[in-house]
Structure formats: structure tokens, C-alpha cells
Amino acid sequence: MTNNINQMKTLNKNSSIPVYYQLAKLIEKDILAGNFKPGEVLPPEHDFASRFGISRMTVRRAISELNIVGMVYSEKGKGTFVANPKLDDVEFELDNPSGENPSKEMNREIKLLGANIFRADETLAKKLIIPLKTKCLHFRLIVSVNNEPLIYENKYIIFSKHNPILETELNDPSLSNLVNSNGQLRAITGKRVFRASIVTEEEAVLLKVSINTPVFLVEQTIYDHEKKPIGWSKSVYRGDRYRLTSYTGWCLGDF
Amino acid sequence: MTNNINQMKTLNKNSSIPVYYQLAKLIEKDILAGNFKPGEVLPPEHDFASRFGISRMTVRRAISELNIVGMVYSEKGKGTFVANPKLDDVEFELDNPSGENPSKEMNREIKLLGANIFRADETLAKKLIIPLKTKCLHFRLIVSVNNEPLIYENKYIIFSKHNPILETELNDPSLSNLVNSNGQLRAITGKRVFRASIVTEEEAVLLKVSINTPVFLVEQTIYDHEKKPIGWSKSVYRGDRYRLTSYTGWCLGDF
DNA sequence: AAGTGGTCTAGACCACAGT
DNA sequence: CTGTGGTCTAGACCACTTC
């Protein structure tokens, strides 16, 4: 008794579109539609093979595509599972003052400054592509490490139902978590824009830094499976404490 | 008459390491050793298959790995070619003032402020892991777009031989290009660290901005095939004109 | 026409998970 | 033990490029 609609479709073996790609898209649709949820196991490979009358190698090729984009992960002897979209994997690193023990315990603390209903102003309406004054939830918070305030964040998500603000949400106040907890839509993709800027007076007070301190201004937008924006945030990272690293060029497995 | 030393080695079919991985590493070594140079074509797949006594599918799996990391690219009907390592593919975008035509012609200009021999000071010696006072080349330049100075860069590469500074190099003053033109070592991998900061007085004059303008401070290190640093640069991107964008989550092919 | 990479098959054996 | 994914084979046909 399956309700995986797309899986009843057939593959066109005479199409110029490769079978493995057709199958990958089919499974992708089922995952995006929620017929397979994160953590759940996919049918075994030989199932797909016999059901669609194709070779197991072709099934593997399809699933491999989904592995590459991180939509599923396979475990030998167990099965292939739907992953959680990693929406917060742009890693800011805390600057590590030389000599300090990097494995030192970090005491991360989140202080909620406010959580309330907010009627979309012009900026937010534009960001989320919603009418003016649409009901939204607004979170304001400060993230501190070792009692030092480092990040100031304002997060907005489209209001959908009266959910109480759970404490568990505030342990992980990432935008994707807030969206997933408070709406019926799941967060699928995200976009971040980084700017270099200088603290405003308000931010300087909140972050306990002097005026003219440089900051990273990070705007994040989160989209559902139809690429409609469902959440938006603007974060201020202290520029004297955070940095961003990226690697380029050739590497195979190791780095 | 081939001098592809590694290709004379054999694969261990009884190893716990997959054959496709062994072959991928073998080809990788040949590419890193310069036995196959960027732009050159690899032997056809059936060559590898018969030479090593393995199936063509296994060869394809090996080459697929190299495709994924961007070390080679395959073209139907033509062959598989060695790629150039993309070391400068972190894209800064110019902020696009609303309403302005994005396809508008950009007039990019590079002004060389200096190119001279530089004896490594403490900072540089540490960055390049070389003795103090080692001979290096030092480039200072300003990148302008539409007559507006936007980037100020200081680039250092280990001095290897007396090459004249070619004009062609200055059309592409990327660190990887400078390294490849002036040294005998090829640039293979790179690392970038981004910081948010504020212009120094000197930078403010060069970039024609007021004091306290925010900037991205971008440190880049370039490594050879043994992961030894061979070039280092420190660039200042005007924070009021540049931004950085990244995407996360699920996507398959399209975005 | 000959050579290349792209796809696909119908098997096979293996290592590992959960009984 | 059975079931899973991981690897590998020895073919096959196709589309494309080059001559």
C-alpha cells in the first residue's frame, strides 16, 4: 500500500533522456513531495530494477546522482536513506588567537531578545514575495560564545499557524529549523549573501563593541520545494571574531 | 614511447581498495606529475581497460571520479582532457544597483603599481613556509571597473628565475596565473580566507574611498601538487561594491 | 568508416547489517 | 541466515567527431 504516486509512472527507454536521469528525477520528485521523508529508507535497488524493468547498475547510477547532491546517503548492508537538506553548512570559523587551545570548551549561549508576530513591511514583503502586512513571525536573538556576544540575528518566517514557541527550537535557532518547526512547508534550498559592513549604533550596543567595528552582514533566504521563499534572515557577525574560508582547485577525496 | 611512469604500474585486483579508485589515483598522479598536461587528451578508455586487464566500466568509474573533482573533462566523440585547476572560482559579484542594466559593458582596468623583488619578511616567510629574506616577487595592483577603483592587491610568489614581466600576465593578474608564469611549479590547490575589515589610510587613498569604508580582506594561498605554498596574496575588496553569494541545500542539475 | 565517450544489460561476487 | 549496497565483468548499442 504505497502512495508514492510518481513511482507508478513508467520510464521511457526510447527517450533521448537517459533512463538513470529519468529515474533520478522521479525519486527526487517523490522526496520533494514528501512521499519519502528525511530519515526514511528508500526501496532497495533491486526493487527499482525489477519494478521498472531496468538493470540494477542503471538504478545505482540514478541513486548516485542523488548521493552527489546530498539528497540521499547510502549505507552498506542497510539501505539508502533520505537526507536532511543541509541549509546551514556555510561555516563561519571563530578566529583562533594563536596559542589558544582550539579544543577548548566553547560555551555557546543563545539569548532570545524577542519572538513576536510581525506585519511584513516593504523590505520583508519584497524578500519573501508576499503582500504587504502579511503575518510573519519575527525572532531577534544574540549568540554568545564564552559570554562574549558575537552574532546578532533577525529572522522572519511566514506565519502559518499558532504554534507555541518551543524551547527545543531555541536550542537550534537556525532559520531552516524555525521554518520547519513553525510552518507546514519544508526548507529545501537556501541562498546567502555576504557583505562587509560596519556596526550600526544599535548593533554596537548589543554586541558590546565599539563604533566602527567591521562586521559580516549575512542575508539568508530559505526556499521550499517550489523555490518559493519561506524565510529570511539578516545576521550580523562580528568581523573581528569571524572569518570565512574556502578551498579551490583539484583534490580527490583527501584534502 | 610514453614516459608515463605510473601507468606502467599494475593494479591490485585483490586489494580491499577498489580498482577504480586505484586507477583514479594512478591517473591523478600522472596528471600532477605533469605527464599529462592541461589541455592534453588522455588515452581512450578501452586503452586503459586492455592495458590493465579490467572492464571499461571500471575505467569509466575511475575517470568519473576525476571528472567530479574537475581534474578532467570528457567530450563525447573526442576524448577526455586534462583540465586547468580552477583556482580563482570564488566569484565576487559587483553589487548591482537596482535598475542598472546588468549586461552593461564593464570596462575593467588593471593598474600595476609595482612589480619588484622582495625579500621575505616575517609575515611572508610564515605564510609561504620559507626562510626569512628568501627572494620573492611582489606585485601591487589596483583593479578598476568603469574608472572606479575597486580592488587593491598585494601578491607574492617565490622567486625562481629571471623572467621578464610579460604584458600577457598583467591581463590576468590572478595569483595562479602569476605563479604559473613565473615559476616552474604549477598551481594545484588554493585556499582563501575572508575577513570583514575597514580600510587603512593607505588603502582609502588608493581606492578613493572615505575613511571607515568597510572592506573584504581576502587572503589567498596557492599550493603546488605537494601542497607546498608557492604564492600568497592579500586583497582588499571594497565592501560597498562587492558581495559574496552561496547556495545550499538540494538541487539536481538545475538551479 | 573508424574512433571516441555515453548508456545500458544481466549477470557475478563481495562485505556488511540485522536477524 | 537473508538482505543490503559496493564492485566488477564482458559484452552491446548509440551519438558524436574526425577523417
B180 and B155 inside one domain: yes
B57 touches strand D (CB under 7 A): yes
In this prediction, residues B190-194 reach a mean pLDDT of: 93
Q: Which residue of B has its CA nearest to A199?
A: B214
N residues, chain A: 255
A138: pLDDT confidence band, cut at 50, 70 and 90? very high
Percentage of chain A surpassing pLDDT 90?
Answer: 64
DSSP of B83-145, one letter per residue? PPP--S---EEE---TTS-TTSPP-EEEEEEEEEEEE--HHHHHHHT--TT-EEEEEEEEEEE
Average pLDDT of chain B is 88
| Residue B121, pLDDT score | 96
How many Å is the Cα radius of gyration of chain B?
22
- Going by pLDDT thresholds of 50, 70 and 90, the confidence category of residue A253 is low
- d(Cα B155, Cα B177) in Å, to the nearest integer? 11
Q: What pLDDT sits at residue A174?
A: 86
Q: The domain containing residue A219 runs over which residues?
A: 92-244
Joined together, the cell numbers standing for residue A215 give 562586521
CB contacts of B200 in chain A (<8 Å) are none
Domain-located, residue B164: yes
- Whether residues A96 and A208 share a domain: the answer is yes
A109 shares its domain with A152? yes
Strand D proximity: list residues 75-104 of B with CB under 7 Å.
Answer: 75-78
Indicate the number of domains in chain A.
2
**Same domain as B13, residue B130:** no
Q: Supply the pLDDT for residue B1.
A: 39
CATH (domain of A232): 3.40.1410.10
For strand D, which residues in window 3-62 of chain A come within 7 Å by CB?
Answer: 42, 44-47, 56-57, 60
For A197, which residue in chain B has the nearest alpha carbon?
Answer: B214
Interchain CB distance below 8 Å, A249 and B86: yes
Same domain assignment for residues B170 and B230: yes
pLDDT at B34 over 60: yes
Asked if B68 and B123 sit in the same domain, the reply is no
3-state secondary structure of B158: strand
pLDDT, residue A177, reads 87
Looking at the domain assignment, is residue A250 inside a domain? no
Both A224 and A159 in one domain: the answer is: yes
**CB proximity B51–strand D (7 Å threshold):** no
Q: What is the pLDDT of residue B99?
A: 47
CA at A56, C1' at C10: how many angstroms apart?
A: 9
Of A25, A71, A250, the CB nearest to B250: A71
Q: Do A111 and A229 share a structural domain?
A: yes
Please give the share of chain B, as a percent, with pLDDT higher than 70. Answer: 87
Say if the Cβ atoms of B194 and A246 lie within 8 Å.
yes
Matching residue, cell 556576544: A149
pLDDT value for B97: 55
pLDDT tens-digit map of B70-88: 999 999 999 999 998 888 7
Minimum Cα–Cα distance from A82: chain B residue: B250
- B118 and B62 housed in the same domain: no
Is residue A252 in some structural domain? no
Residue B251 within any structural domain of the chain: no
Q: Could you tell me the CATH number of the domain that includes residue B60?
A: 1.10.10.10
**Listed residues B29, B60, B82: the one ending a domain:** B82
pLDDT at residue B4 in the model: 52
Q: Which nucleotide is nearest to B22 (CA to C1')?
A: D7
B58 CA vs C12 C1’ separation (Å): 15
- Mark which of B82, B104, B134 sits at the end of a domain: B82
The angle formed by the CA atoms of residues A90, A94 and A99, to the nearest 5 degrees, is: 145
| Residues A100 and A157 occupy one common structural domain | yes
> Grid coordinates standing for A47?
526493487
Residue A91 has what pLDDT? Answer: 73
A212 with B198: Cβ contact below 8 A:
yes
Q: Do B220 and B117 sit in the same domain of this protein?
A: yes
Cell of A14: 526510447
Domain assignment of residue A254, yes or no: no
Contact across the interface for A239 and B90, Cβ inside 8 Å: no
Give the per-residue pLDDT at B183: 78
Q: Mean pLDDT for chain A?
A: 88
Residue B252 inside a domain? The answer is no
Q: What is the mean pLDDT of residues B14-28?
A: 94
Note whether residue B249 is domain-resident. no
Is residue B67's pLDDT more than 70? yes
The last residue of one of the domains, among B51, B82, B113, is B82
Same domain assignment for residues B137 and B74: no
Output the CA–CA distances (angstroms, integers) from residue B24 to B11, B30, B33, B68, in the order listed: 11, 10, 14, 11
Residue B235 has pLDDT above 60, yes or no: yes
Give B214's pLDDT tier (boundaries 50, 70, 90): very high
Higher pLDDT pick, B9 / B58: B58
